[in-house]
A and B are shown apart, each in its own frame.
Chain A
Amino acid sequence: MKGKTALSERQVEVAAGTVVVTVDHVNLDYHKEKEPLPVLTDVSLTAVKDQLVAITGPSGCGKSTLLRIISGLVKPTSGRVRVLDSEVKGPRDDISIVFQNFVLLPWRTALENVLFGLSSRKDLTDEQKNRKAESALEIAGLQGFESVYPGELSGGMKQRVGVARALAGDPRVMLLDEPFSSLDDLTAERLRREMHTLLISPQTSVQSVILVSHNVEEIIELADKVIVLSSRPAHVVGELKVDLPRPRNKKSDEFFQWVDRVYSLLS
């Protein structure tokens, strides 16, 4: 019954022409001594325009693997992923990913790290790349830090460089893989508060954001929609639309009710 409701909602989204990302009956098997080891089973989800979708589930269930499938870094065994009208068949410029660890080159400055993300863009001149990188650093709150090396930046600032690098290529889809989990509580809290308005804003090209996280409070603070996965082999056990107004009050009863709803699906 639940499946039917979700499907009809999806059909409405498709009909409205607002769907940016479609994950359509995706399966992934690993092979152990020629025996298939299912990791993801029949996973479907959508992200519509200006929506932040969070994917959660037990540790090791395959959340990050699903994100890598959406990014084109991992090929599913069956099923497909579409961004707008085209199928994702490999990594592409309109999908960016921010990882848990900062993955910055320590011998390059902040600007050079952002530029590195644009190095494969043959359609841009060096001057255009520079302008894009500087503008992305500014959007990420790092104006003035262009010439600073990663070793001189705090964890939060390093993650901002990662966000700037992801934004510089003008992606339509931004994928975030536990982006706050390497940060101390205070820094994570601050970056989290900024992230929704930073990414889904007219200043950026981003149309949809997909976040993978195991932190349920973080998810309710940020997400418009939550996809809950089961343990391995992972399948979707729940899809919730979070209609709390923003900015969200983490102390409110409504907030706790939403947190409880996600926990009840996880347990």
Chain B
Amino acid sequence: MKRLISLIISLLAICGLLAFSSHQLQASSGSTGSKVLNLYNWGDYIDPHLLTKFQQETGYHVNVETFDSNEAMYTKINQGGTHYDLAIPSEYMVAKMKRAHLLQPLDHHRLTGLHNYDQQFLHQSFDPHNRYSLPYFWGTLGIIYNDKFIQPGTIRHWNDLWSVKYRDKIMLIDSARDIMGMALVSQGQSMNTTNPTTLRAAEQKLTRLAPNVKATVADEIKMYMTQNEAPLAVDWSGEAAEMLANNSHLHYVVPSEGSNLWIDNLVIPKTAQHYNAIYAFLNFMSEPQNAAQNAEYVGYATPNRAAKALLPAADRHDQQFYPPAATLRRLEVYRDLSPAKVELYNDLYLEFKMHH
């Protein structure tokens, strides 16, 4: 017993010592005082080399903290006690944060790179004049197939998934809005529909898909698809990019009849303090060279038109991740629905899951 206690005490002492010295190290390296920028970002969502380059060019040290869901980020900023200067929420969360008065407007006079952005990704419904947000990356919802099991070209539309050929072959991303949205688009409806009858019809259509669904999972889809566990999956383009990088048999399709267009955005939360650093960073990230470097690192599609032109031709012309204009026009951005409607989507989705 005595030995156990002394063991635990020495373990605690070592941990404490390490924590203290790492704190000291950080304090000495970040002692530039106000020359810092606190960035609240998704995990592995920026090229670390860019942060070093930014510090060399401007002298601002970037502290990065990460979150793993929009909701977690919202809660943390809403609770206060944090000092984030920039955060990167998805489009519906921008609208939600705006309504909760958690965002500071952007001073457009201090932005130098606005003209680099593609108009397609500006002036969206969640922030009509980009008063609060700058697009960071964008992507779609689509179908991933494995050419070992599926003839290339046979999957083009959402309705192809309902074919009896694919019994017990499809993996779905566990997200109410996306899966309900997919069913809505397959019936020619808007992904932002709030009509209960239309939604009920979509749920019934999903129920008919149930025999084809192998599993409804989350991040694990990446692992499963890479390991050839299932021939088909419905997931976001960002996840798809990672799968494709790890398994050359995988391909990504955005159905031409429409899908979701998601946009992650840079915003200034109410907790911001270092305004010079913020605008320096926003302008730095808007520079085509830097945005292109970031896009190559992260693997997502950049909304920066000038940056896209700098990407290697293979990336630039990859119709999987930069769909043709005709498809792009049919993509819909999710509107921030009222809580009651979000509830309706989720209840119907839960019913669909019960039918497996």
A and B co-occur in one complex = no
| Residue positions of A touching B, CB distance < 8 A | none
| Residue positions of B touching A, CB distance < 8 A | none
